[in-house]
Amino acid sequence: MFKIELKPESGSAEKHEIIIIGSGPAGLTAGIYAVRGGADAIIIAGYASGGQLMLTTEVENYPGFPEPILGPELMKRMRAQAERLGVKIIDKDATGINLLTRPFEVNVEDIKYVADAVILAMGASARELGLPSEQKFKGKGVSYCAVCDGMFFKGTDVAIVGGGDTAVEDAIYMSNIARNVYVIHRRDKLRAQAVMQRRAFSRQNIKFIWNSEVVEILGDKKVNGVKIRNKLTNEETTLNVDGVFVDIGHVPNTSLVKGQIELTDAGYIKLYGETGTSIRGVFAAGDIADHVYRQAVTAAGSGAKAALDALRYLDELKEQRNEQ
CA pair distance 178, 97, nearest whole angstrom: 43
| Residue 163 CB, nearest approach to ligand NAP (Å) | 3
Helices (H), ranges, the chain: 25-36, 71-84, 132-136, 146-149, 165-175, 194-201, 296-323
| Residue 134 CB, nearest approach to ligand NAP (Å) | 11
How far, CA to CA in Å, does 307 sit from each of 94, 113, 197, 276, 284?
19, 18, 36, 11, 10
Catalytic residue status for 148: yes
Applying CB under 6 A, which part among 86-94, 242-250, 264-272, 315-323 lies near ligand NAP?
242-250
| Residue 170 CB, nearest approach to ligand NAP (Å) | 9
- Cβ proximity to ligand NAP: between 83 and 213 the closer is 213
Catalytic residue status for 170: no
135 sits near ligand NAP (criterion: CB under 6 A): no
Catalytic residue status for 265: no
| Binding characters for ligand NAP, 191-220, by CB under 6 A (x = yes) | x---------------------x-------
169 sits near ligand NAP (criterion: CB under 6 A): yes
167 sits near ligand NAP (criterion: CB under 6 A): yes
CA pair distance 108, 68, nearest whole angstrom: 35
DSSP string for residues in 57-87: SEE--STT-SS-EEHHHHHHHHHHHHHHTT-
294 sits near ligand NAP (criterion: CB under 6 A): yes
Give the residue among 12, 22, 34, 35 at the shortest CA–CA distance from 91.
22
CA pair distance 319, 271, nearest whole angstrom: 25
One of 248, 300, 311, 314 touching ligand NAP (CB under 6 A):
248
- Cβ proximity to ligand NAP: between 191 and 227 the closer is 191
List active site positions.
Answer: 145, 148-149
